[in-house]
Amino acid sequence: MDTTTAFPAQSAELRSSGACVLPDWGVIRAVGADAATFLHGQLSNDVSRLDLAHARLGAYCTPQGRMLASFVYTRAGAEEYWLACSADVLAPTLKRLSMFVMRAKARLSDASAELTVLGLAGAPAAAWLGADAPAQAWDKLDRDGAAVIRLPDSGLGGAAIDRWLWIGPAAQAQDVLGALPALDMAQWQQLEVRSGVVPVVAATSGQFVPQMLNYELVGGVDFKKGCYPGQEIVARSHYLGKLKRRAFLLSGDAAMAPAQEVFWSEDPGQPAGVLARTAADGARHLALAELKIAVTRSGALHLGQPDGPLLQMLPLPYALPHDAETA
């Protein structure tokens, strides 16, 4: 299958620069002497060694290794952690996590009303942050009671847009928005998809093992840490090298939505994968899709049904392992 399709044209970095509120994000707060130990035993990435200068990407899985939620999480104090996730999975995830706190000295709560999540992007955001702006993915800056987390760049076919996640007091968020150009939510969603990092949303919760969404390639899995729900399945997929599905970047002319199925021309009788994250880019539409690796090597991909709209593959901003190469 040809994977050389160019990215849809865009009007340089200016179109994707500034700040916007991310209403589709929410924040869980974990506080207490055992908060780190508890979270370390629940998430796919390390918590126990997390310092104040870094954040992490991590998955919360079922015992079968399927992702119920994904978090960008950071340490906000000596015994406090903020976990940002898709707002539509926050309530059930918080309820499930709380069931396992038991006697641990940890309190979990929905802090979304107190803490706002903003997306910052491009040169204006970098200039506003100044010399202390976090420069590498998952670096973090504490600034006036807020956490500023560097996200993986959005790959744009040779160019890259710097991105940060800002988490802080709701009142303070207005000052940030007033200091930066307005960034349209649709533009931020394009940057999210083009970054190749797939958040779990309600429509896809419970469907994917982390490696199916390339989480170990973007810093979302620590294979050296101790047990957590689904750890055995995740580790087995990694060490035995039997992974048959990966996340790929697609574009097409038709509107897309998470959980839509993708079909392959050479085996049209069953879905070849499912869309996990989508965005519109003018007349074109973008998606990160979980697909069988084999279907990316030949034939054609169609949206929704075997004869549905044609989909094209685009290059991801990071390299895939040999088992997922599409040449």
Q: What is the CATH number of the domain that holds 48?
A: 3.30.1360.120
Residues 134 and 27 in one domain: yes
* Inter-residue contact 290 to 247 (CB < 8 Å): yes
- Tell me whether residue 273 is in a domain: yes
- Tell me whether residue 11 is in a domain: no
pLDDT higher than threshold 70 for residue 288: yes
Residues 224 and 187 in one domain: no
Phi, psi torsion values for 261, nearest 5 degrees: -85, 155
pLDDT of residue 282: 77
The average pLDDT across 175-198 equals: 95
pLDDT of residue 146: 98
Residues 106 and 157 in one domain: yes
Residues 24 and 161 in one domain: yes
- Tell me whether residue 166 is in a domain: yes
Residue 166: give the domain boundaries.
18-195
* Inter-residue contact 221 to 228 (CB < 8 Å): no
6 burial type by CB count under 10 A (0-12 exposed, 13-18 middle, 19+ buried): exposed
Let me know how long the chain is. 327
Q: What does the DSSP assignment read for 13-24?
A: GGGG-EEEE-TT
The amino acid at 284? R
Residues 103 and 136 in one domain: yes
Q: What is the CATH number of the domain that holds 253?
A: 2.40.30.160
Residues 145 and 294 in one domain: no
- Tell me whether residue 9 is in a domain: no
Residues 58 and 168 in one domain: yes
- Tell me whether residue 10 is in a domain: no
The average pLDDT across 180-187 equals: 94
- Tell me whether residue 63 is in a domain: yes
CA distance 287 to 314: 10
Least confident of 2-11, 112-121, 149-158, 240-249: 2-11
Residue 298 tokens read as 């030949």
Residues 82 and 136 in one domain: yes
Q: Which position has the token pair 């998952």?
A: 138
Residues 280 and 239 in one domain: yes
Share of the chain above pLDDT 90, in %: 86
**Looking at 176, 195, 214, which one is the last position of a domain?**
195
pLDDT of residue 257: 96
Look at the alpha carbons of 193, 199, 205, 209 in this order and tell me if their dihedral is positive or negative.
positive
- Tell me whether residue 295 is in a domain: yes
Residues 208 and 190 in one domain: no
Per the structure, the count of domains in the chain is 2
Q: Which position has the token pair 């508890």?
A: 38
Residues 142 and 226 in one domain: no
pLDDT tens digits, one per residue of 219-271: 999 999 889 999 999 998 888 777 899 999 999 999 999 999 999 999 999 99
